[in-house]
Amino acid sequence: MIGIVPHRDLIEWRKGVSSYKALCRFLVCIQPLIGIWVHQNPELGNVVYVMPGFVSVVGCRIIPQELGPLGIEDGPILWAPVFEVLGSFDGSTTFFLHGREKGNDYFYPGSVKHVERTCNVLLLEVEAWQQENEDTFLHNKSFSHHSDMDARKVCRSNSGISRSQRVTGQNEVKVSFSQLAFSDRRKLLNIVTSQVRQKVPDSANGLLFPRLKDYEEKFQNDLAILLERRLLLMQMYKLGDRRIDWKATPELPSDPTQLELIQTRKSLDHPSGSNSLDDNKDSHAQYTKRKTFRGYFRDSLKQILGKSSSINIGDSISANGSSSGENKRAQLHEFLRSSDSIRLSLHASTLKLSSYRAWPNMHDSRYALYKLPMRVPTADHEYAGLWGGTFGWPPGRPTEDKPGKALFFLLLSYEESQGQRHLIATKILEGTHYVLHPNGSAMFVVNIDEASLDPFPWDTDADSLPVNVKHAFIGEGIANGYGFRYPGAKPGSLFAFQNGLLAFIWKESRSVLTLQRLNLQELLRKGERVPPLPPMANFAYLTRSYSNVFAGFPNTSTCLSSPRFTS
C-alpha cells in the first residue's frame, strides 16, 4: 500500500527485521524521503535522488555529465552516494552520511530525527543530546505497547527526546540547531563528522541497492551481498562512537557560560597556544587514545564558544525563510546547556517556502536539500514529471565536433495564468563543464491551449523511421546564457511524438532539445558509481560554483566540456 518496493522485495526485506510490523514501521517512517531533492549550488546541479536500497533508502547524487553514442537508456549514469537511512531489527532508523577524505571513503553515523509526513527540507544538523533520556526510553517497559501508534509518533520513537525538542526548566527556552549562527553550525558539523567517522571496509564499499538484473540468480546474489553488508553496518553503528561526550573532559567546566572567561584568561597566559581546526586535522590517527581525543575536542569547542558571543547579530532567518528581528541568533552555550553529548542527525522538516516555476527559493547558509514536487501525469497534465534530454537531432547522436552530448534533467510542470495553461520545463541538472543556464531557469515555456503551425524540420528519427507528430504547441525557449536569474526567451515550438518523445525547436536557430521520460531508479541500478565529496559538501555544496565540481573522477570521458549553446 505504501508503494516503496514491490511485493517480491518486501519478502526479502523481512529477513532483516523482527516482524512485518517492524518493517511497516520503518516503511511508513521513510516514505516521505523518497523522491528528488535539490540544492542551488553548484549551479551545474546538485540533484539527489532518494530511492530504496535494502531495508534502507539511499540518497544518490546525479553527477553532471555528457553522454556518448549509446544515449540515456544504454549509457551509464554517473552517481555518488550521499547518505543512507537503514532499518534496525525493530524497525527504528539509523543514519549514515557518506564522504571522502584524503583518498579514503568514510561513514559518519548519526540519528534520524522526526520525519514529517509533508517534509520539504532535509537538514544535516548536530543534535544536543541528554543521555539519560535515551536510557530511560530504551528501558521503558511500555515501549512494546506503542506499536500501533500513528506514523508520526512511531518516527519520533526512533530518537527519543532531543535537547532541541524540550525545555529543561521554567525559565529556559528551547534552542534548536538552526538558531545558531552559521559559523557555529558549520564548525559543530565539522567537529562531529571528524570525530565520529569510520573508515568504510572494502566489504561495505560495494552495492547499496540491487543492480538491474534480468536473471533471478543474479538478483538473489545481490540480495545476499546486501544482507551481509547491512549486518556489518549495523554492527559498526552499534560499536562505534556516534556521540561526543563534551562534558567528560575534566578541563571543561559543567557551566558552558564560564568557557569564554577561561578562554580569555588562557589567551593572556599563552598568546600563541590556541589550536585551530586546521591544525588538528591529523588528530584522528590517535582517535583511540582518549586523552588525545579529549584534547582535540576541548581545544576546538572552546575556540567556537569563545567566538560565538561575537556572532550573535545578523543573518537572522526565521523558520519560514524570512528575516525576523525576533529570531535572534542563539549562543552556542545555550544550545549545549543541560546536554551530555552531541551527535550528527538528519532532520526531515516542513518549512514554508516560496518558489518560482517549481524551483524552491533556498537558504544560502543551511546544509539542506529541498524536495521537488513531483506530479503524477494525468489526462490534463500528461507531460508532467521528470524528463532527460540532449541537444541535437536525431536524439543523442554524436557528431565529429561533438563526441558527447550534455545531459539535461528537466522537471515539466503545469501552471495556469490568465485562463491559459502553460507547460514549464525547469532545468534541474546540466551536464556541461561550465554552467550555461541557472538552476531553476525555464528552458522553455509553451501554451498548451495554442497549437503551433510550424512543421517539424526532419522526416525521420535516429532509426530512420518516419516521424509522427502527435501535438505541436507554440511557446518560447531560453535565449541567453548565464548572467541573470530570469533570462530572456525567443519563439519556438514544442513537438510531441507518438513514441513518447518531446522536442523543443527554437524557430530562428533551429536548435533542438529532445526529451524522454526518465526512470531514475532503473538508471541508477545500472549506473556507474563515483567517489563522493567531503562529508559536509557531499550533503549540500554551499559554495557557489559555475564549473563542474564533480568532474575530477577517473572516468573523465563523460565530463568533458561542451560547446556553448546559443539561440
> What is the reported pLDDT for 23?
94
The answer to whether position 263 is within a domain reads yes
Identify the CA nearest to 435 among candidates 388, 484, 487, 482: 482
Where residue 251 falls among pLDDT bands split at 50, 70, 90?
very low
224 and 292 together in one domain: no
Domain count, the chain: 3
Mean pLDDT confidence for 291-300: 50
In a domain, 438, yes or no: yes
| Residue 460 DSSP code | B
pLDDT exceeds 50 at position 272? no
Per-residue pLDDT band at 248 (split at 50, 70, 90)? low
With respect to residue 315, please indicate whether it lies within any of the assigned structural domains: no
Is 324 contained in some domain?
A: no
Q: What pLDDT score was predicted for residue 245?
A: 61
Is 323 domain-assigned?
no
232 in the same domain as 265? no
Q: CA 195 to CA 424: how far, in whole Å?
A: 45
User: Does 367 have pLDDT greater than 70?
Assistant: yes
Of 13, 57, 60, 34, which is closest to residue 524 (Cα–Cα)? 60
Domain match, 148 and 49 both: yes
Q: How confident is the model at residue 151 (pLDDT cuts 50, 70, 90)?
A: very low
Residue 337, domain member (yes or no)? no
Q: Are residues 264 and 120 in the same domain?
A: no
Going by their DSSP bridges, the two strands 104-112 and 341-349 should be labelled as: parallel
d(CA 261, CA 136): 35
pLDDT the model gives residue 135 = 45
- Tell me 396's DSSP state: T
* Angle between helical axes of 259-269 and 290-308 (0-180°, round to 10): 100
Whole-number Å distance between alpha carbons of 472 and 555: 39
Q: Which residues contact 239 (CB under 8 A, 6 or more apart)?
A: none
Q: Is the pLDDT of residue 483 over 60?
A: no
User: What is the average pLDDT across 430-442?
Assistant: 84
Grid cell 541557472 is found at 438
> Among the ranges 413-417, 423-427, 439-443, 457-461, which has the highest mean pLDDT value?
423-427
Give the mean pLDDT of 413-428.
90
Among 413, 484, 443, which residue's Cα sits nearest to residue 567? Answer: 443
Share of the chain above pLDDT 90, in %: 38
Residue 556's pLDDT is what? 37
Confidence band for 265, pLDDT divided at 50, 70 and 90 = very low
Same-domain check for residues 349 and 410: no
What is the reported pLDDT for 140?
41
Per the model's pLDDT, the better-predicted residue between 275 and 97 turns out to be: 97
Residue 567 lies in a domain: no
The 8 Å CB, 24+ separation contacts for 260-269 are 260/305, 260/306, 260/309, 262/302, 263/302, 263/303, 263/305, 263/306, 264/306
Say if residue 301 is in the same domain as residue 175. Answer: no
Residue 127 reports pLDDT greater than 60: yes
Q: Which range (85-89, 104-108, 205-209) has the least confidence?
A: 205-209
Q: Hey, CA dihedral for 16, 18, 20, 23, is it positive or negative?
A: negative
pLDDT at 557 over 80: no
Per-residue model confidence (pLDDT) at position 162: 44
| Average pLDDT taken over every residue of the chain | 76
Domain identity same for 223 and 301? no
**In the structure, how many helices (H) and strands (E) does the chain have?**
12, 24
Per the model's pLDDT, the better-predicted residue between 296 and 329 turns out to be 329
Same domain for 122 and 181: yes
Can the peptide bond before residue 42 be classed as cis, meaning omega within 30 degrees of 0? yes
168-201 tens-digit pLDDT = 444 556 788 999 999 999 989 998 999 899 999 9
Is the same domain home to 189 and 294?
no
Q: How far apart are CA 290 and CA 10, in angstroms?
A: 43
Domain that residue 289 falls in: 256-308
Q: Of residues 93 and 240, which shows the higher confidence score? A: 93
> For residue 200, is it within any domain?
yes
Residue 138 has pLDDT above 80, yes or no: no
| pLDDT at residue 312 greater than cutoff 50 | no
Give dist(CA 35, CA 408) in Å, integer: 18
> In the prediction, which pLDDT does 278 show?
37
Separation in Å, CA 378 to CA 381, 382, 388, 497: 5, 5, 19, 17
Residue 55 has pLDDT above 90, yes or no: yes
Mark whether 288 and 383 lie in a shared domain. no
Stated pTM of the model: 0.79
**CA separation for the pair 438, 45 (Å, rounded):** 9
- Same domain? 234 vs 275: no
Q: How far is CA 170 from CA 69, 160, 167, 174, in A?
A: 67, 21, 8, 11
Q: How many residues does the chain have?
A: 567
Residues 405 and 348 reside in one and the same domain:
no
